[in-house]
């Protein structure tokens, strides 16, 4: 297949066939920008009282897209181009005088099999009192290589890069400061575990 059919390589580890990294077509960046716009519009509508909540069904996804490619040591960008939720949080907390909505704080609750390394990287690489990032995801120290035998079956590989455990790796196993609450839920995330995390930890 030609690149215009299978997609262009968007990150250096892309194999052009959708593998473990990120490819795109001529409409990918426009779609990613539209996803950011949708998230910001949703915040506008909620803060403006037009609705009490919103759901943005957009693609491509975003929570692995950080300040740079492969944020926090990930082997790939996980199909993410831009990070809509991080953009929306920044917009919400930017002062009115600078074109934002002037909120004092934004909380991002991320529930996915994978840790949102990109969102944590953008909002909480260092402590910022404007942001609280909470992630529930598969993983944990033993799963991501601290106490395992490091068998080949436990290693992700993109090109010549290797990473142990569950993508994006060890970055979600611990919380670096009070602005981050990472909740690794083991090798398989179950509904009960997510509910318990909400009631016992987040609340």
The predicted-structure confidence for 125-168, as pLDDT tens digits, reads as follows: 999 999 999 999 998 877 775 544 444 444 444 445 555 677 88
133 contacts 124 by C-beta, under 8 angstroms: yes
Helix (H) or strand (E) segment spanning residue 194:
helix 191-196
39 contacts 85 by C-beta, under 8 angstroms: yes
Residue whose C-alpha is closest to residue 7's, from 33, 16, 15: 16
Structure tokens at 157: 């590989």
Query: How is residue 60 annotated by DSSP?
Result: S
- Tens-of-pLDDT digits for all 203 residues of the chain? 344 555 566 665 555 444 456 777 888 899 999 999 999 999 999 999 999 999 999 999 999 999 988 899 888 888 899 999 999 999 999 999 999 999 999 999 999 989 999 999 999 999 999 999 999 999 887 777 554 444 444 444 444 555 567 788 888 989 999 999 999 998 888 889 889 998 988 87
Dihedral of CA 55/45/134/80: which sign? positive
In whole angstroms, what is the distance from residue 142 CA to residue 186 CA? 9
Cα angle vertex 175, ends 105, 95, to 5°?
20
Which residues in 93-179 belong to E strands, given as ranges? 106-111, 131-137, 155-158, 161-164
**pTM for the complete prediction?**
0.83
In whole angstroms, what is the distance from residue 119 CA to residue 29 CA? 18
56 contacts 40 by C-beta, under 8 angstroms: no
In whole angstroms, what is the distance from residue 41 CA to residue 11 CA? 29
In whole angstroms, what is the distance from residue 157 CA to residue 159 CA? 6
Start-to-end Cα distance in the chain? 50
| Cβ atoms within 10 Å, residue 166 | 23
Write the CB contacts of 99 (distance below 8 Å, at least 6 apart in sequence).
none
């Amino acid at each position: 297949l030609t690149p215009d059919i299978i997609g262009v390589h968007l990150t250096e580890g892309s194999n052009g066939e959708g593998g473990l990294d990120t490819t795109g077509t001529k409409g990918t960046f426009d779609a990613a920008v539209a996803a950011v716009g949708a998230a910001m519009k949703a915040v506008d509508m909620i803060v403006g009282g037009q609705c009490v909540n919103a759901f943005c069904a957009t693609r491509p996804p975003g929570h692995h897209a950080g300040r740079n490619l492969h944020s926090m040591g990930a082997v790939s960008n996980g199909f993410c181009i831009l990070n809509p939720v991080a953009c929306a949080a920044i917009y919400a907390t930017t002062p009115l005088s600078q074109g934002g909505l002037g909120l004092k704080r934004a909380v991002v609750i991320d529930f996915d099999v994978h840790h949102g390394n990109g969102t944590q990287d953008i909002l909480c690489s260092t402590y910022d009192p404007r942001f609280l990032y909470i992630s529930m995801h598969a993983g944990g120290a033993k799963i991501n290589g601290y106490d395992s035998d490091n068998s080949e079956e436990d290693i992700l590989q993109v090109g010549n890069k290797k990473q142990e455990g569950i993508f994006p790796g060890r970055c979600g196993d611990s919380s670096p400061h009070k602005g981050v609450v990472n909740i690794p839920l083991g090798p398989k995330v179950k509904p009960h575990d997510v509910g318990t995390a909400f009631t016992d930890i987040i609340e």
